[in-house]
Protein backbone atom coordinates (compact mmCIF):
# COMPACT_ATOMS: atom_id res chain seq x y z
CA UNK A 1 0.00 0.00 0.00
CA UNK A 2 1.35 3.41 -0.97
CA UNK A 3 1.76 6.15 1.62
CA UNK A 4 0.64 9.78 1.35
CA UNK A 5 1.80 12.47 -1.07
CA UNK A 6 4.58 13.70 1.21
CA UNK A 7 6.22 10.27 1.23
CA UNK A 8 5.55 9.02 -2.30
CA UNK A 9 8.34 6.45 -2.30
CA UNK A 10 7.34 4.62 0.87
CA UNK A 11 5.20 1.50 0.78
CA UNK A 12 3.45 -0.21 3.68
CA UNK A 13 4.32 -3.90 3.61
CA UNK A 14 1.38 -6.23 4.11
CA UNK A 15 2.71 -8.42 6.92
CA UNK A 16 1.06 -11.78 7.47
CA UNK A 17 0.47 -11.36 11.21
CA UNK A 18 -1.91 -8.45 11.77
CA UNK A 19 -3.66 -6.75 14.68
CA UNK A 20 -6.47 -9.31 14.79
CA UNK A 21 -4.01 -12.20 15.13
CA UNK A 22 -2.11 -10.44 17.91
CA UNK A 23 -5.31 -9.67 19.80
CA UNK A 24 -6.39 -13.29 19.45
CA UNK A 25 -3.03 -14.48 20.76
CA UNK A 26 -3.40 -12.27 23.83
CA UNK A 27 -7.06 -13.15 24.26
CA UNK A 28 -8.15 -9.55 24.61
CA UNK A 29 -9.63 -6.70 22.61
CA UNK A 30 -7.16 -3.82 22.26
CA UNK A 31 -8.37 -0.29 22.86
CA UNK A 32 -7.15 3.25 23.39
CA UNK A 33 -8.49 5.06 26.46
CA UNK A 34 -7.67 8.76 26.12
CA UNK A 35 -7.80 10.58 29.47
CA UNK A 36 -8.11 14.36 29.11
CA UNK A 37 -8.55 17.08 31.69
CA UNK A 38 -6.75 19.82 33.59
CA UNK A 39 -3.52 19.19 35.45
CA UNK A 40 -4.54 17.91 38.87
CA UNK A 41 -7.93 16.62 37.74
CA UNK A 42 -6.94 13.02 38.50
CA UNK A 43 -6.14 11.51 35.09
CA UNK A 44 -3.01 9.61 36.08
CA UNK A 45 -4.41 8.46 39.43
CA UNK A 46 -7.50 6.98 37.77
CA UNK A 47 -5.47 5.40 34.97
CA UNK A 48 -3.12 3.88 37.55
CA UNK A 49 -6.02 2.35 39.48
CA UNK A 50 -7.65 1.19 36.25
CA UNK A 51 -4.48 -0.47 35.04
CA UNK A 52 -4.22 -2.43 38.29
CA UNK A 53 -7.82 -3.62 37.85
CA UNK A 54 -7.21 -4.61 34.23
CA UNK A 55 -4.08 -6.52 35.22
CA UNK A 56 -6.10 -8.36 37.84
CA UNK A 57 -8.39 -9.42 34.97
CA UNK A 58 -5.42 -10.69 32.98
CA UNK A 59 -5.28 -7.78 30.52
CA UNK A 60 -2.01 -6.53 29.02
CA UNK A 61 -1.88 -2.74 29.31
CA UNK A 62 0.42 0.25 29.04
CA UNK A 63 0.10 3.83 30.28
CA UNK A 64 1.40 6.68 28.13
CA UNK A 65 1.60 9.56 30.59
CA UNK A 66 2.11 13.15 29.50
CA UNK A 67 5.06 13.93 31.76
CA UNK A 68 6.82 10.71 30.81
CA UNK A 69 6.50 11.13 27.04
CA UNK A 70 7.73 14.72 27.29
CA UNK A 71 10.95 13.44 28.85
CA UNK A 72 11.70 11.31 25.80
CA UNK A 73 9.51 10.98 22.73
CA UNK A 74 8.40 14.62 22.85
CA UNK A 75 11.27 16.31 24.70
CA UNK A 76 11.87 18.62 21.73
CA UNK A 77 8.38 20.12 21.98
CA UNK A 78 7.16 23.16 23.86
CA UNK A 79 3.66 24.12 24.94
CA UNK A 80 2.38 26.46 22.25
CA UNK A 81 -0.65 25.32 20.27
CA UNK A 82 1.37 23.83 17.40
CA UNK A 83 3.68 21.85 19.69
CA UNK A 84 0.75 20.61 21.74
CA UNK A 85 -0.85 19.31 18.55
CA UNK A 86 2.36 17.54 17.56
CA UNK A 87 2.61 16.09 21.07
CA UNK A 88 -0.90 14.63 20.71
CA UNK A 89 -0.15 13.35 17.20
CA UNK A 90 3.01 11.52 18.27
CA UNK A 91 1.39 9.96 21.31
CA UNK A 92 -1.65 8.91 19.26
CA UNK A 93 0.59 7.26 16.67
CA UNK A 94 2.42 5.34 19.41
CA UNK A 95 -0.89 4.37 21.02
CA UNK A 96 -2.12 3.04 17.68
CA UNK A 97 1.02 0.93 17.24
CA UNK A 98 0.56 -0.48 20.73
CA UNK A 99 -3.11 -1.22 20.05
CA UNK A 100 -2.00 -2.92 16.82
CA UNK A 101 0.11 -5.14 19.09
CA UNK A 102 -3.04 -6.09 21.01
CA UNK A 103 -2.49 -3.91 24.07
CA UNK A 104 -5.03 -1.86 26.02
CA UNK A 105 -3.45 1.61 25.98
CA UNK A 106 -4.20 4.24 28.60
CA UNK A 107 -3.18 7.74 27.50
CA UNK A 108 -3.02 10.50 30.13
CA UNK A 109 -2.60 13.79 28.32
CA UNK A 110 -4.13 17.19 29.07
CA UNK A 111 -4.73 17.51 25.31
CA UNK A 112 -6.66 20.76 25.79
CA UNK A 113 -7.91 21.31 22.25
CA UNK A 114 -10.92 19.59 20.73
CA UNK A 115 -9.37 19.37 17.26
CA UNK A 116 -6.30 17.60 18.65
CA UNK A 117 -8.41 15.03 20.49
CA UNK A 118 -10.36 14.42 17.29
CA UNK A 119 -7.03 13.93 15.51
CA UNK A 120 -6.12 11.28 18.08
CA UNK A 121 -9.43 9.49 17.45
CA UNK A 122 -8.80 9.65 13.70
CA UNK A 123 -5.30 8.20 14.07
CA UNK A 124 -6.68 5.35 16.20
CA UNK A 125 -8.56 4.21 13.12
CA UNK A 126 -10.57 1.05 13.59
CA UNK A 127 -9.41 0.51 17.17
CA UNK A 128 -11.87 1.05 20.01
CA UNK A 129 -11.23 4.60 21.24
CA UNK A 130 -12.74 6.25 24.30
CA UNK A 131 -12.36 9.90 25.21
CA UNK A 132 -12.37 9.93 29.01
CA UNK A 133 -12.97 13.42 30.36
CA UNK A 134 -11.67 13.67 33.92
CA UNK A 135 -13.26 16.86 35.21
CA UNK A 136 -12.33 19.13 38.07
CA UNK A 137 -13.05 22.87 38.05
CA UNK A 138 -9.96 25.05 37.74
CA UNK A 139 -10.32 26.24 41.34
CA UNK A 140 -10.32 22.66 42.60
CA UNK A 141 -7.43 21.52 40.39
CA UNK A 142 -5.44 24.58 41.42
CA UNK A 143 -6.18 23.98 45.11
CA UNK A 144 -4.88 20.43 44.76
CA UNK A 145 -1.80 21.62 42.80
CA UNK A 146 -0.23 18.19 43.22
CA UNK A 147 2.88 19.16 41.25
CA UNK A 148 3.17 22.80 42.30
CA UNK A 149 2.70 23.89 38.69
CA UNK A 150 -0.24 26.23 39.18
CA UNK A 151 1.74 28.22 41.72
CA UNK A 152 4.59 28.57 39.23
CA UNK A 153 2.20 29.52 36.44
CA UNK A 154 0.55 32.20 38.59
CA UNK A 155 4.01 33.68 39.22
CA UNK A 156 4.76 33.69 35.50
CA UNK A 157 7.48 31.05 35.80
CA UNK A 158 5.60 28.75 33.39
CA UNK A 159 4.14 30.04 30.14
CA UNK A 160 1.21 28.58 28.16
CA UNK A 161 -0.08 26.69 31.18
CA UNK A 162 -3.50 25.18 30.59
CA UNK A 163 -6.20 26.87 32.64
CA UNK A 164 -4.07 29.91 33.49
CA UNK A 165 -2.83 31.54 30.28
CA UNK A 166 -3.78 28.83 27.81
CA UNK A 167 -7.35 27.56 27.31
CA UNK A 168 -8.85 24.15 27.93
CA UNK A 169 -11.67 23.23 25.57
CA UNK A 170 -14.01 20.97 27.50
CA UNK A 171 -15.18 17.87 25.62
CA UNK A 172 -18.79 18.31 24.56
CA UNK A 173 -19.64 14.63 24.23
CA UNK A 174 -16.98 12.45 25.85
CA UNK A 175 -17.42 8.70 25.86
CA UNK A 176 -16.88 8.71 29.62
CA UNK A 177 -17.29 11.63 32.05
CA UNK A 178 -15.71 11.47 35.49
CA UNK A 179 -16.20 14.32 37.97
CA UNK A 180 -13.49 13.96 40.60
CA UNK A 181 -15.27 16.45 42.84
CA UNK A 182 -18.08 13.95 43.38
CA UNK A 183 -16.40 10.62 42.58
CA UNK A 184 -13.47 8.87 44.19
CA UNK A 185 -10.49 7.57 42.22
CA UNK A 186 -11.82 4.02 42.65
CA UNK A 187 -15.27 5.01 41.41
CA UNK A 188 -13.77 6.70 38.37
CA UNK A 189 -11.60 3.69 37.57
CA UNK A 190 -14.59 1.36 37.96
CA UNK A 191 -16.63 3.49 35.58
CA UNK A 192 -13.97 3.12 32.87
CA UNK A 193 -13.57 -0.58 33.65
CA UNK A 194 -17.29 -1.07 33.14
CA UNK A 195 -17.12 0.76 29.80
CA UNK A 196 -14.20 -1.41 28.68
CA UNK A 197 -16.05 -4.59 29.63
CA UNK A 198 -18.99 -3.53 27.43
CA UNK A 199 -16.87 -2.63 24.42
Task: Please provide the DSSP assignment of the chain as one string.
Answer: -B--TTSTT-B----SS-HHHHHHHHTS--EEEEEE--TTSSHHHHHHHHHHHHHHTT--EEEEEHHHHTTTTTTT--SSHHHHHHHHHHHHHHHHHHHHTT-EEEEE-----HHHHHHHHHHHTTSEEEEEEEE--HHHHHHH-TTSHHHHHHTTSSSS-BTTTB-----SS-SEEEETTTS-HHHHHHHHHHHHHH-
Say if residue 41 carries a ligand binding annotation: yes
Strand pairing of 104-108 and 176-179?
Answer: unpaired
Say if residue 38 carries a ligand binding annotation: yes
Say if residue 68 carries a ligand binding annotation: no
Q: Which of 3, 21, 31, 111 is catalytic?
A: 111
* 184 among known catalytic residues: no
Say if residue 109 carries a ligand binding annotation: no
Say if residue 40 carries a ligand binding annotation: yes
Q: Say if residues 162 and 38 touch (Cβ distance below 8 Å).
A: yes
Say if residue 37 carries a ligand binding annotation: yes
The alpha carbon of 96 is separated from its chain's Cα centroid by a whole number of angstroms, namely 11
Say if residue 42 carries a ligand binding annotation: yes
Q: Say if residues 100 and 12 touch (Cβ distance below 8 Å).
A: no
Say if residue 156 carries a ligand binding annotation: no
The residues carrying an active-site annotation are 111
Annotated binding site for ATP: 37-44
Amino acid sequence: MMSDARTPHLYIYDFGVGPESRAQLLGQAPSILWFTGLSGAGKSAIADRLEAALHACGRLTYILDGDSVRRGLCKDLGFDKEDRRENVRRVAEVAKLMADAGIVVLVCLISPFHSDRELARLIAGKHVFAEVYVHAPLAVAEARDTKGLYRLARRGAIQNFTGIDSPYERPTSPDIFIDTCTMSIDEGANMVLDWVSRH
